[in-house]
Amino acid sequence: MRVPVWLWPILAAVVLVTATVILIVNGDAGQPAVSAILQAQRDLATLQEVHLDVDPAALRAAEADLFAAHAAFNEQRYEVARDAAVRASQAAQELLAERRVAPPR
């Protein structure tokens, strides 16, 4: 399942609102997770905006990691959220790098 590009800003807004509420209540324990999630969202949005022909399974895995990060963050499991977001970001960056070095067909 491909996530539409227009959905990423909405998801980012939801994370930011959730993060703001949690920061007010709990302090800044979730800040590294928020930063990692936002970076992963930017990386995946960049990948989808350029409409590159990438491995669909790898893209779905990166999107699944990002959704797992969102879910973990909402459950206040910040370390798990950060790790999942970092995996999503790294996967998206690797897919972009593979396409940039791949010879034109």
Q: What is the pLDDT of residues 5-38, one digit of tens each?
A: 777 778 777 877 877 776 666 667 778 998 999 9
Q: At what angle do helices 7-26 and 56-74 cross, to 10 degrees?
A: 30
- How many Å from the N-terminal Cα to the C-terminal Cα in the chain? 26
pTM above 0.85, yes or no: no
The structure tokens listed for 41 are 């969202």
Q: What is the pLDDT of residues 35-80, one digit of tens each?
A: 999 999 999 988 887 766 788 898 899 999 999 999 999 998 999 9
Contact status, residue 95 vs residue 47, Cβ threshold 8 Å? yes
Q: Where do the domains of the chain lie?
A: 7-101
